[in-house]
């Protein structure tokens, strides 16, 4: 199984366009790299402080990686229906009530995406007046990811709205192959 098959979630396939799968793959890889980089920079920061020779710029790197991971992860989770989504309410319903709740939820998420774009861009522009120490980098470098994340959240929400209204939101999920294999192995062990 290719790495792309493992990183691009096949759950709720009826709500996704295949041509955006590459973007989900890229976002998942970036999330992994950001989390790895964050962990590495925190470890290096602790080690350098412990040995008495702190690298102050590591705090800037750590905060940047953390902030970028949050907003890239938000976009990826929106595509995967793992974030900003109230599943318990909508999955308990069927028919017209479910469609209404699903549309309302996604309209709220679109409102959040608009706020990320609008206010994130305003903060980005204001960030050129403040600088991070010790590097002197404009704080705008931290805020640049916020409107981009809002654009991606909006794109993925529109994708789900269009496909949900076209194909329906209520589709039974195929059984998970990995879970079926685990159950089968457990059943095999239980037999005398």
pLDDT digits (tens, 9 = 90+) for 2-22: 776 777 767 777 778 888 888
* Rounded distance between C-alpha atoms, residue 75 and residue 155, angstroms: 9
pTM attached to this predicted model: 0.80
Question: What is the pLDDT averaged over residues 28-35?
Answer: 95
Question: What is the pLDDT averaged over residues 114-136?
Answer: 94
Cβ neighbours for 16, distance < 8 A, ≥ 6 positions apart: 79, 159, 160, 163
Task: Indicate the pLDDT class of residue 28, thresholds 50, 70 and 90.
Answer: very high
pLDDT score for 98 = 84
């Amino acid at each position: 199984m290719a790495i792309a098959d493992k990183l691009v979630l096949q759950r709720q396939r009826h709500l996704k366009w295949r041509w955006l799968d590459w973007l989900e793959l890229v976002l998942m890889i970036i999330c992994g790299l950001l989390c790895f980089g964050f962990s590495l920079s925190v470890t290096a920061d602790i080690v350098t402080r412990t040995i008495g020779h702190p690298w102050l710029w590591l705090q800037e790197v750590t905060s940047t990686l953390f902030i970028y991971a949050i907003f890239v992860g938000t976009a990826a989770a929106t595509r995967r229906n793992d974030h900003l989504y109230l599943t318990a309410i909508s999955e308990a319903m069927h028919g017209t009530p479910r469609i209404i709740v699903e549309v309302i939820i996604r309209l709220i998420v679109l409102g959040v995406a608009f706020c990320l774009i609008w206010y994130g861009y305003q903060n980005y522009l204001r960030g050129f007046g403040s600088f991070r120490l010790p590097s002197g980098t404009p704080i705008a470098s931290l805020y640049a990811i916020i409107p981009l994340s809002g654009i991606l959240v909006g794109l993925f929400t529109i994708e789900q709205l269009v496909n949900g209204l076209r194909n329906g939101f209520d589709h039974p999920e195929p059984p998970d192959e990995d879970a079926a294999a685990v159950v089968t192995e457990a059943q095999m062990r239980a037999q005398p």
